[in-house]
Amino acid sequence: MAGRVAKWTGGALFAVAAVGMGAYFLHVGLAKADQTASVVGAFVGVAGLALALYGTLTTRRANAAAPIPGTCAGPDNPAAVHNEISGGVFDGPVVQSRDVHQINFGLFASPSQSRPAE
């Protein structure tokens, strides 16, 4: 219910603002309306940039502060992560990890060479 009221209120405010700006711009003329719209647009752009930066910073801080559930294995919780692979044919090593930077297993045969012909 609250979401519907917010949508209707936002739509009504937008409609009132659009009609009010149209009446103002019609009253002051096209040249003055163009200048006013440029200034208002610049302020809206700066405000939007500031809000975007604020949202980005608060999201990063919240994500950095909170650990991901189930990923903290250690002495207190040794079984926090359980990886299981079942079914299928694996022609080489299977690596399940987080934050892998460089890994080298050497050369392995292609899957078509490692399986017998059926």
Give the tens place of pLDDT for each residue, 56-106. 988 887 766 666 565 555 556 655 666 677 777 777 777 776 666 666 665
Q: Provide the CA 71 distance to its chain's centre, in angstroms.
A: 21
Taking the C-alpha atoms of residue 28 and residue 118, their distance in angstroms, rounded to an integer, is 84
**Between 75 and 51, whose confidence is greater?**
51
With CA atoms as reference, report the closest residue to 67 among 76, 102, 55, 53: 76
**pLDDT for the residue numbered 105:** 60
Rounded distance, CA 6 to CA 1, Å? Answer: 9
Q: What is the pLDDT of residue 60?
A: 80
Query: Quick one: average pLDDT of 100-118?
Result: 55
Kindly tell me if the per-residue pLDDT of 15 is higher than 90: yes
